[in-house]
Amino acid sequence: MLEIYNTLTHKKEEFKPIEAKKVRMYVCGMTVYDYCHIGHARVMIAFDVIYRYLLHKGFHVTYARNITDIDDKIIQRAIENNEDFHDLTQRFIDAMHADEESLGLLRPSMEPRATDNIPAILKMIQTLIDKEYAYQGENGDVYYDVSKFKGYGKLSRRKLEDLRQGAGDRIAIDTAKHDPLDFVLWKPAKEGEPSWDSPWGAGRPGWHIECSAMSTELFGATFDIHGGGKDLQFPHHENEIAQSEACTGQHFANYWIHNGFIRVDNEKMSKSLNNFFTIREVLKKYRGEEIRYFMLTSQYRSPLNYSEEQLKSASKALARLYVALRGLPEAEAIEKTNYAFRFHSAMHDDFNTPEALAALFDLSRKTNKIHQQQDKEAAASHGALLKQLGAILGILQHDPEQWLQGNASEEGLSADVIEALIQKRLDAKANKNWMEADKIRDDLSQQGISLEDKGTETIWRRD
């Protein structure tokens, strides 16, 4: 039984799609005015794993991840660059897709863009006005009236009274609003800004209405899963619920999934702290699968600390898994093992990837042990299972030799690979498989690596 933590109910629930074996999942994607950063990478990878696992379980999944291609930041950046905003957004969409490919992501079924859905946005705003959930202010902006929606705050567990108290004196600053918490659905365009015609004047949509309109247009009033980063829970997703349910009169999304924050060296990621990294900057030092593996070491809802030490540890761990596959022929995966049971039990428990990885490591150790006992056929079937389960997480699909060689520095094999091979040699010696131990020593020697055994430890150096 697959259980998912539902942010709306604050508990794990058995996953039951609206239609048997069909899943409709909408995830809030990127605002494309700059290169994607490692926080974006976590969203991408978290929902890619969920997508992959649902596919693996036999669901027909329609996965939509939107692209916000019009907002204040995009307009400002286009002005700074003296660039048409379409050219700006397309350039960063192309860069985003390149980053996704490097991280081993499956492409979503759909990538709706806000600017392609203006008619749906206008239709939803008009419905909200007709139902008296929205109004046009004296400044021309169209606002959503939060006081009219009785369920406002149910996702974030916040009360309107408390939110108003926290809003301070903003109502005095923006007198066009009925309430300081009312938010923009449509804003008039300033001179020279991109705009679309509407009953309320030329302008453009607010951010929140874009996702409500696109998800409803694609999936109807109610769908299975809505997801995104934890930072979107309030106000973005709260506002989506208010808009969508007021418009349709129906429940919006059945399961809300939010991934946790990334911190950098235990501090909030921020350009002002000079600890802000784009995906492509990190890719200069680490391969996409290493970044992906690092993201999987924490359950998607938990906070994740990004550091050089953590990435190096992930690189070493991934190398050890590839070492277990080294030298094994193609084979059918062994079936009905405790390792597979543990893996799937972990994934059924709200996609618990750290526990799933623990099962893979135990399987890799078993594979090594059988291989060292010179039962190559049994080792190959265990290795095939390791690769099969790894595919569900989007890892271990490269040729082991090519991966390990590709992990070489200018001086040769990386320390991660060398240490993984030394550990495999120590395991072989413990099992009195002297032939395998000698082979690993010889292989390392050919790579210019000398070993010196000192008791139970082995010291290595480059010749």
Residue 246 has pLDDT above 80, yes or no: yes
Q: Which residue has the tokens 């629930």?
A: 13
Say if residue 408's pLDDT is above 70. no
Which three-class secondary structure state does DSSP give residue 351?
A: coil
**How sure is the predictor about 453, in pLDDT bands with cuts at 50, 70 and 90?**
confident
Range from 45-49, 56-60, 302-306, 443-447 carrying the lowest mean pLDDT: 443-447
* Confidence at residue 272, expressed as pLDDT on a 0 to 100 scale: 65
Q: Are 314 and 293 in contact (CB under 8 A)?
A: yes
Contacts of 332 (CB under 8 A, 6+ apart): 381, 384
Residue 180 near residue 161, CB atoms below 8 Å: no
pLDDT band at residue 411 using 50, 70 and 90 as cut-offs: low
How far CA 335 is from CA of 47, 324, 331, 380, 385, in Å, comes to 27, 18, 12, 13, 8
CATH of domain 264-462: 1.20.120.640
Closest CA to 425 of 436, 412, 413: 436
CB 236 within 8 A of CB 28: yes
pLDDT of 450 reads: 80
What is the CATH code of the structural domain delimited by 3-259?
Answer: 3.40.50.620
Cα–Cα distance for residue pair 23/55, rounded to 1 Å:
9
**DSSP H or E segment with residue 146:** none
DSSP assigned state of 269: -
Strand order in the sheet with 304-306: 267-268, 262-264, 304-306
Residue 303 is predicted with a pLDDT of 93
Q: Which residues contact 207 (CB under 8 A, 6 or more apart)?
A: 68, 71, 236
Lowest pLDDT segment from 4-8, 136-140, 450-454: 450-454
Taking each helix axis as running N to C, give the angle between helix 308-325 and helix 353-372, from 0 to 180 degrees, rounded to the nearest 10.
40
The structure tokens 């081993």 sit at 104
Give the pLDDT confidence score for residue 454 in this predicted structure: 65
Q: Would you say residue 410 has pLDDT above 70? A: no
Give the separation between CA 59 and CA 237, rounded to whole angstroms: 25
Average pLDDT over residues 94-113: 97
Alpha helices in 185-337 (DSSP H): 207-219, 238-248, 279-283, 288-296, 308-325
Average pLDDT of every residue of the chain: 92
Residue 172 has pLDDT above 50, yes or no: no
Q: Cα separation of 323 and 434, whole Å?
A: 18
Q: What is the pLDDT of residue 170?
A: 46
Averaged pLDDT, 109-116 = 98
pLDDT band of residue 347 (cuts 50, 70, 90) is: very high
271: confidence class by pLDDT, cuts 50, 70, 90: low
Strand partners, 60: 22
Mean pLDDT of 160-180: 71
Beta-carbon contacts of 9 under 8 Å, excluding residues fewer than 6 positions away, are none
Q: How do the domains of the chain map onto residue ranges?
A: 3-259, 264-462
**Residue 276: per-residue pLDDT:** 80
Residue 85: helix, strand or coil by DSSP? helix
Provide mean pLDDT across the span 345-366.
97
Find the mean pLDDT for residues 110-132.
98
Q: Give the per-residue pLDDT at 256.
A: 98
Q: Which two tokens stand for residue 258?
A: 């939010």
According to DSSP, residue 182 is labeled -
At 317-341, the pLDDT tens digits run 999 999 999 989 999 999 889 999 9
DSSP H or E run through 10: none
What is the percent of the chain where pLDDT is above 70? 95
Quote the CA–CA distance of 223 and 251 in Å, as a whole number.
9
CA distance 171 to 180: 5
pLDDT at 435 over 90: no
Do 3-259 and 264-462 show the same overall fold? Answer: no
* DSSP run (H or E) holding 406: helix 400-406
- pLDDT in the model for residue 171: 45
pLDDT at 452 over 90: no
- Residue 108 or residue 330, greater confidence: 108
